[in-house]
Structure 1
């Protein structure tokens, strides 16, 4: 895995399917996340909606020229773009560099050459961004691009702005930031926003999911190793702390690290030094650490599941992203915000939620938070009517029997003789009873029961967990 490419978002725009797949497989083996498309329009849509670190684009595409993507990349924050040319393509390469491409690759090429070219592109980008950063006023307003705050996070946003203002008054040794919140609330997006709007935006942002690091390799990934440090260490390698030197390191799901590694992270924060695996030499690193957890670290610390000293060190600047169900009308505003980007991705010029869908968005509890909402919108765009979107899990949509329980066009399932009790009743208990009845009628098949009552399977799981059943 390459420290340069680890956690990077890379767009591949190449009409040749085999080459597109080869590039994606190689780059993902180096720790990158790839979006691979085959046309100019798909590439442009991806550039406009995704937070990309690099773009690889072929010169000739079925519906346009890859060279025209250079202007799109520049408009999206000067994303480095490397042009791929066939048969040497000297004239096309010269034209690409003149128009602002970071570099070029002449076909045929070995996928391993890509790492070298992207390394050069990153160096050039760092220098140009540093010049721009020095020439910009220090009190410039921060950008909300790619991140939705809404009315429910006004205070939250104001605090983030104060953190960024404080960062700009410091030359180094920026304090760590802790972001807590349920899975899917947008912790990674917030970390990227903090880096992009902070004083280190011209430097590296290295993103790592600690839960995805194998225990036996986690120390090497974070701190690096010397040649011969273990059986497969055939050459020395820098770790992610060193790769992020001068910039930002985002440790997602930090509670997944072992207590030993937690202690090493604490040392790196407090002393600004690390030691590679198999080395006795300490290396100075200047890293702004952003950590995230989907469980409150205070509770994990109290239960002995997380180092107390590291928790107190991280808790200096702590932000808890509230779940979507606690954000009131912002759930609907968030949906509108996401729909704009997803509609652009799929090429829909006009898209809107139906009135029934808007009511559902406001009332549903969204156990999967923003991630679940985004997936529902994307699924509806692909499989439904973009001009009047409805989610597949909504009451009234067809299930496995072809008729949902609440579909009035096929008969009202509610007994017309039923009346509300004079003394009232518990709606929450009624919902749980309906869920239990659906599961029973479906022979214990939760997915089938979810379809019968017109909700997502995760909603039933959430209700069961909430009630401790």
Structure 2
């Protein structure tokens, strides 16, 4: 269980018990731990209190002089945001189980030590948050884990992430937020999940929400929760996703879609570690590690006045930028093979390969949809290809480039630089392989003399004068 067996500071607790000595003993223990306790000894009194006040927890005896607590549960008298702990005498376990079926979070069998209340409250909190996460997942299917491919082009990003995770392991609590920027389809969601799965909270909840899909009127309720009657349709209370992710990670995708008012509340949640539910009167402590993402640079949005500058500066502490696929150079091919292996396994297919013509076509694309578009194109080929060799003929484009326009227009010089010497050697190796190690034919393809090629192959220094491009090459 993720929560500690403790009493949240300032918790409002209803204590419903007709046994005066037991009630006073439990009340004293709860107050000693900083709880605000309201005592009641009859069912009717509890009904009135539940109608007029809001409680974080309720500790209730099953049997009271004027009725059964099961009646309160059947009536829906307890708010959905109230964790109900039922107390029962030996032999009353069957009724306690019925109480849990009706919405109670836990039960304790008398006699018990007051310290056991902390464990029961912890179970209530955990069950409530787990239920909220299940509701959210059912509304947003397809959010499974993805294996992230870094390659050479994202090596610097991987180093940056390792540094962030090392800092998180030192901090443990109140982790700073992370901002991920990149075009649509570059893998921001996969990166957020990778960061969670490789960090100190890997065994805690990961809650992902697409802010762009939240209507302005519902965004605050989804993120921060609400009490009964907070707005017209709020017939049931519900905790928000910040509370559901408590102890774990909350991923806010496309955070720039949130209204300025909601952005201000997100800032408060990050800086102070507290939220207030809609219709609520008190702050709720939360420790959700926040990861955010945007498909547009947030500093540009700040300049345009559409994103809060104070929130931007808070998020920009740890900023990770994902390059578009068109700028990832030859990493496109190992990425394509990585995606093919994953997609083929999902389709239960073996022996699928990408032909050289297929590789050429993949390299020739601009991939405006980035990694997501590439993955969809590979899956389409897996489904419709008549055999195990994928050539991506539907992408069009000549797989064999012409002599005057042979370089892939999507290729860019890597920012980290590259070895020209190595590149020349690779050109020579490719030419020899494609011509069956025929030196004369390879020289013609490369536009150099046989002598130049032999110098390169022997490891000697090539001639200082440029080769005669018009030499017939034998």
Return the TM-score normalized by structure 2. Answer: 0.54
Q: Distance in 2 between matches of 1:392 and 1:226?
A: 57
Structure 1 stretches lacking a partner, 5+ long? 1-115, 124-143, 397-405, 409-413, 429-469
Cα displacement (A) at 1:363: 2.3
Distance 1:407 1:175 in 2: 48
In the TM superposition, what are the counterparts of 1:300-339 in structure 2 within 5 Å?
A: 300-339=301-340
Q: For residue 157 of structure 2, what is the aligned residue in structure 1?
A: 156
The aligned runs of 1:18-33 (5 Å cut-off) are none
CA distance in 2 between partners of 1:279 and 1:120 (Å)? 17
Q: In structure 2, what is the equivalent of residue 357 of structure 1?
A: 358
Who is 1:294 aligned against?
A: 295
Q: What's the TM-score, normalizing by structure 1?
A: 0.54
Relative to structure 1, is the Cα distance of residues 153 and 147 closer, same or farther in structure 2, using a 3 angstrom cutoff?
same
Partner of 1:167: 168
1:180 is displaced (CA, Å) by: 0.3
Give yes or no for contact 1:168–1:199 (8 Å, CA) kept in 2: yes
Residue aligning to 1:376: 377
- Distance in 1, Cα, partners of 2:315 & 2:170: 20
- Take 2:389 and 2:350, find their aligned partners in 1: how far apart are those partners? 13
Q: Measure, in 2, the Cα distance between the counterparts of 1:294 and 1:248.
A: 20
- Post-superposition shift, 1:252? 0.1
Q: 2:204 matched to which residue of 1?
A: 203
Sort the Cα spacing of 1:188 and 1:216 in 2 relative to 1 into closer, same or farther, 3 A. same
Unaligned runs of 5+ in 2: 1-123, 132-144, 410-474
Q: Could you say which structure has the larger radius of gyration?
A: 2
Distance 2:343 2:285 in 1: 43
Relative to 1, partners in 2 of residues 1:266 and 1:199: Cα closer, same or farther, differing over 3 Å?
Answer: same
Question: Cα 1:233–1:387, aligned 2, differ >3 Å: closer, same or farther?
Answer: same
CA 1:252–1:386: 2 relative to 1, 3 Å: farther
Which ranges of 4 or more aligned residues in structure 1 deviate by more than 4 Å? 118-123
SS in 2 for 1:160: helix
Q: CA deviation at 1:155?
A: 1.5
Q: 1:145 Cα deviation (Å)?
A: 7.3
1:147 counterpart residue number: 148
C-alpha distance in structure 2 between counterparts of 1:175 and 1:303, whole Å: 26
Asked if the contact 1:380/1:392 (under 8 Å) is kept, the reply is no
User: Counterpart of 1:266?
Assistant: 267
Tell me if the contact between 2:254 and 2:292 (Cα under 8 Å) persists in the aligned partners.
Answer: yes
- Tell me the C-alpha RMSD between the 2 structures: 2.8
State how far apart, in whole Å, the 1-side matches of 2:214 and 2:399 are. Answer: 47
Decide whether the 8 Å contact of 1:185 with 1:369 is kept in 2: yes
Secondary structure, counterpart of 1:152 in structure 2? coil
Distance across 1 between alignment mates of 2:182 and 2:336: 19
TM-superposition CA deviations, 1:166-196 (whole Å, max 9, x none)? 1011131100000000000000000000001
Pair 1:325–1:218, CA change in 2 (3 A): same
Alignment of 1:209-220 (within 5 A): 209-220=210-221
Q: Matched residues in 2 for 1:317 and 1:349: separation? A: 41
Q: Please give the secondary structure, in 2, of the residue aligned with 1:319.
A: strand
Query: Residues 380 and 386 of structure 1 are in contact (CA less than 8 Å); yes or no, is this contact kept in structure 2?
Result: no
Matches within 5 A, 1:53-452: 146-391=147-392, 393-395=394-396
